[in-house]
Amino acid sequence: MTALIIIIALVVVIGSFVISTYNALVVLRNKVKDQWAQIDVLLKRRFDLIPNLVETVKGYAKHEKDTLEGVIEARNKFTTASTPEEEMEANNQITTALNRLFALSESYPELKANENFKDLQNNLKETEDKIAYSRQFYNDSVLKYNNKRQMFPSNIVASIFGFKAEKFFEANETENLHALIDNLINDEKTYTHNPRFIVVTDYKTLLAVDTKTKQTLDIEIKDLYKRYDFFLPWSGKEKYVADRKS
């Protein structure tokens, strides 16, 4: 009789654990899906702005065929994406293509002054900022879910019921640094003494650029402090700008 009571008690305890852990995993997984749905709305909003942007640029820079086709191709890839992972990859390609397009506009003053182009650029920038902001919450939800899924003993329940790992929505850091350098080169307020060379680093990726030719220079982290004077901290993810030592 005592043994039966012990067995029943163990079954109740184990059953309660399985049910509570399963429900907790479902809640965390649904949180990830909800956060992604909010990002998806923003991605589609940016997607809808691209055709007007391309048509506007065509009116001023028709011969920049490769750049325009790159934007269109990236947009088309987003159209065929059927999973969040595919949308993430397409998003990074769109970001890369748009950064190149906006850098191109610096060579066309009339395009840069066009009100429609400026409105589209501002709308896209606003949407990008919202995507970046939402990405933080999404990745936080993914981290909590993946941790719960991997930690013992909840990983046993996750394995039994087929809870799969979710992928983080990672930005293309190299392209972000390229975009940051473009902004620095084109924004006179960013630096005061018009440096010939600037460096941007997040300590994982390092870019050194000649501001006149806009060519990327070869430089290693170990040579950074020897060859460059840091003078401007950049808010955000430990990015800095440096001018080459004279």
Query: pLDDT by residue (tens digit) across 86-131?
Result: 998 888 888 878 877 877 777 788 888 889 988 998 898 889 888 8
pLDDT of residue 3: 81
Helix and strand totals (H; E) in the chain: 8, 5
Q: How far is it, in rounded angstroms, from Cα 30 to Cα 7? A: 34
Mean pLDDT of the chain: 78
Q: How much of the chain, in percent, has pLDDT values that exceed 90?
A: 28
Model pTM above 0.75: no
DSSP state of 218: P
Torsion of CA 9, 13, 16, 18, to 10 degrees: -130
Q: How much of the chain, in percent, has pLDDT values that exceed 70?
A: 69
Q: Residue 213: pLDDT above 90?
A: no
Three-class SS state of 37: helix
**Beta-carbon count within 10 A of 116 CB:** 13
CB-neighbour burial class of residue 11 (10 A; exposed 0-12, middle 13-18, buried 19+)? exposed
Q: Going by C-beta distance under 8 Å and a sequence separation of 6 or more, which residues neighbour residue 95?
A: 128, 171, 172, 175, 176, 179
* 138 closest CA partner among 34, 44, 27: 34
Q: Residue 238: pLDDT above 60?
A: no
